[in-house]
Amino acid sequence: MREHSGLLTDLYELTMAAGYFETRFDARATFELFVRHLPPRRNYLVAAGLEQALEFLENVDFSPEEIGFLRQHLLFSHIHDAFFDYLAKFRFTGDVWAMPEGTLVFPGEPVMRVTAPIIEAQILETYLLATLSYQTMIASKAARIVTAAQGRQVVDFSARRAHGGPASLLSARASAIGGCGGTSNTLAGQQFGIGIYGTQAHSWVMAHEDEGEAFGHFLDAFPEGAVLLVDTYDVRNAVKRIIAMGRKPAGIRLDSGDIGGDSRWARRELDRAGWKDVKVFASGDLDEYKIAELLRGGAAIDAFGVGTALGTPGDAPHMNLIYKLTQVERGGKIREAAKFSHAKVTYPGRKQVFRYRNPAGEYQSDRIALEDEPPNGGEPLLVQVMRGGRRVAPAESVGALRDRCTSSLARLPKRYRQIGRTAVYPVHYSKRLQALLEEVRKRVRRFAVK
């Protein structure tokens, strides 16, 4: 697959592009990406996916075969050659403002604002939505799981549950931004500089004649760093056997059964054997709720591996990021755009988000305003990341993005960080923005059929 193919979009983006071209609708448009509501049980989101979005914007184009494919489609039979010539030279030339990855985001707040010739901005909608939605969803879930683990390491095990290989790389990346200390995904480790973890699976134990032989062979190959999986047949037998062998592993891993009880029992046995530094890892369909419950119950666990819940969060499996037109500039005239369909109002205008802190430095509230409104002491969250289709700054490391997330969460008052309780962080629209919405509403009403 061509990674930066311009066809990686909904067909309607391309028909609209052709429509704008054919009807000489030469406009510069601003679109903003945001969520209307938080997914269930979420109090905040963690912005992620910007790097992949920018990479796409910098490289997107159409190959001759791709243009040929469109040209032969019945829908395009009345479209003139000039449009296809335009596609052959297509490049993104717009300006992009965005919240840096790792920033906390609340409903209504644009995580990205794109200003470009309307055709360009339209064609890129689908890719931007998919990329930012996905990583933001995973980073947000990761932050909750890491919160629940109370300082213990959380490792991303989601590779096998991801939506194919490329998606697995992005889920490892987004998990790290959300605070995970590492991943099982080897390629993600290589590509993004994330720590990689993992030693053995049930199959290693099952492939050997008996468990003792399996553990012995593994320690032969990995005298340091071996984490032995002890639940293939019977956890307590396996732990006793390892201790009886007298060969100290780096850790043991529990993947099923009564993980809390077994962890406490194993901890006691290991300590009794003088192996206080042997770690206890836990995995097996864990999520933030189960981790919190295990720790409340006094589980003796040093680190968690989380797969399914991280890569495909069951409590919020999608994040409905939307991409809405907020302004059109055409023939020197600026027109603000909004939408008023059933329960789906969107605010017009080019926006900025200001975040306010209390005297203790904690986040207190956000204000969504027009971009030229004064900050009044707030921190502007949207920064320019692309000018004329080129990045204005180099990519940040995943470690730097995780640090931003971690320090932002530390500034978020505790009630919003609780995983079990919903609390609504205060976000206001500025008065100018509210007045602008009403203006647009009146203008649109004038055009309604009487």
Site for its own copies in 297-356 (CB under 8 A): 308, 311-314, 317-318, 320, 324-325, 328, 335, 337-344
**Which of 160/415 has CB closer to its own copies?**
160
Segment contacting its own copies (CB under 8 A): 155-163, 265-273, 379-387, 423-431?
155-163
> Minimal distance in Å, beta carbon 365 to its own copies?
29
- Tell me the per-residue interface mask from 82 to 101 with its own copies, x by CB under 8 A, - otherwise: --------------------
* Minimum gap (Å) between residue 187 Cβ and its own copies: 4
CA distance 349 to 341: 18
The phi, psi pair for 353, rounded to 5°, reads: -115, 130
Query: What ranges make up the beta strands (E) of 358-439?
Result: 363-370, 379-380, 383-387, 390-391, 427-429
> Is residue 223 a contact partner of residue 253, using CB atoms and an 8 Å limit?
no
CB 141 to its own copies: min, Å: 12
Residue at token pair 């990674």: 3
Please identify, using beta-carbon distances, which residue of 73 and 432 lies nearer to its own copies. 73
Interface with its own copies includes 64 (CB under 8 A)? no
Inter-helix orientation angle 125-148/288-296, to 10°: 10
**Amino acid, single-letter form, for residue 330:** R
- Rounded Cα gap, residues 91 and 61, in angstroms: 6
Q: Which residues pair with 112 in a beta bridge?
A: 33, 98
- Shortest Å, Cβ 404 to its own copies: 22
Give the nearest distance from C-beta 148 to its own copies in angstroms: 19
Site for its own copies in 256-275 (CB under 8 A): 256-258
> Which of 18, 154, 278, 291 is the binder for its own copies (CB under 8 A)?
18
CA distance 254 to 182: 18
Find the helix or strand (DSSP H, E) in which 117 lies: strand 112-117
User: Between residues 435 and 448, which has the closer beta carbon with respect to its own copies?
Assistant: 448
- Binder to its own copies among 34, 92, 157, 416 (CB under 8 A)? 157
Q: Which is nearer to its own copies, 202 or 264 (CB)?
A: 202
CB nearer its own copies, residue 241 or residue 417: 241
Among 206, 334, 392, 423, binds its own copies (CB under 8 A): 206
Residues 172-201 that bind its own copies (CB under 8 A): 184-187, 189-191, 196-201
The number of beta carbons lying within 10 Å of the beta carbon of residue 199 is 18
CB of residue 384 to its own copies, shortest distance in Å: 23
- Draw the binding track, 122-151, toward its own copies (x: CB under 8 A; -: no contact): x--xxx-xxx-xx-----------------
Binding range to its own copies, per CB under 8 A, among 27-35, 143-151, 295-303, 374-382: 27-35
Nearer to its own copies, 188 or 381 (CB): 188
Helices 125-148 + 398-411 axis angle, to 10: 60
Site size for its own copies (CB under 8 A): 127
Helix or strand holding residue 330 (H, E)? strand 321-330
Other beta carbons within 10 Å of 342:
5
295 CB-contact burial (10 Å; exposed 0-12 / middle 13-18 / buried 19+): middle
The conformation of residue 406, written as its DSSP 8-state character, comes to: H
Nearer to its own copies, 53 or 409 (CB): 53
**Residue 231 CA neighbour count, 13 Å, CB half:** 16
Burial code (b: 16+ CB inside 10 Å, e: under 16) for 381-409 equals bbeebbeebebeeeeeebeebbebbeebb
208-237 positions binding its own copies, by CB under 8 A: 208-212, 217-218, 220-225, 231-235, 237
| In the complex, minimum distance from the CB of residue 111 to its own copies, in angstroms, rounded to a whole number | 15
Closest separation between CB of residue 173 and its own copies, Å? Answer: 11
Instruction: Give residues 381-400 in contact with its own copies (rule: CB under 8 A).
Output: none
